[in-house]
Amino acid sequence: MIEQTLKQTFGYDGFRPGQAQAIRAVVAGRSAAAIFPTGSGKSLCYQLPALLLPHLTLVVSPLLALMADQVTGLETRGITTCAAINGMLSMPERADVLDRVRLGDIGILIISPEQLRNNSVRKALSQR
């Protein structure tokens, strides 16, 4: 199932060094630490398992541009169950994302670190 999702969703025939081990560990329910240089495929190590697992994948990133790129990249691959929450969202946009989290419509949520202190974010996460 992992290789099939890799090919069908991401268009790759194989993994880069280190990716397969990290992805297999996460899909099997184990913890994994993956430290790769920039541009070597770290994102796939959470994106692919997020598509295969039934729970919410929470990604904490301090980089707003990276957050937007991640969501856009996933959406261009047809993955619409992703969203980002950061200080740039309007209140209605934030409320919509949090509602989608509570309803289980979000599989990958990318948030900035300060959002972990936000009560409405923590409440939505706990309800999920």
What's the pLDDT score for residue 65?
A: 87
> Coil, helix or strand for 101?
helix
Cα(1)–Cα(79) distance, integer angstroms: 17
Q: What is the pLDDT of residues 49-67, one digit of tens each?
A: 999 999 999 999 988 888 9
| pTM of the complete model | 0.90
- Beta-carbon neighbour count of residue 116 at 10 Å? 12
**Residue at token pair 């994948």:** 57
120, 125, 127, 128 alpha-carbon torsion, rounded to 10°: 150
Q: What is the pLDDT along the chain (128 residues), one digit of tens a residue?
A: 999 999 999 999 999 999 999 999 999 999 998 899 888 899 999 999 999 999 999 999 988 888 999 999 999 999 999 999 998 899 999 999 999 999 999 999 999 999 999 999 999 999 98
Amino acid letter, 126:
S
> Coil, helix or strand for 3?
helix
- Beta-carbon neighbour count of residue 53 at 10 Å? 13
What's the pLDDT score for residue 40?
A: 87
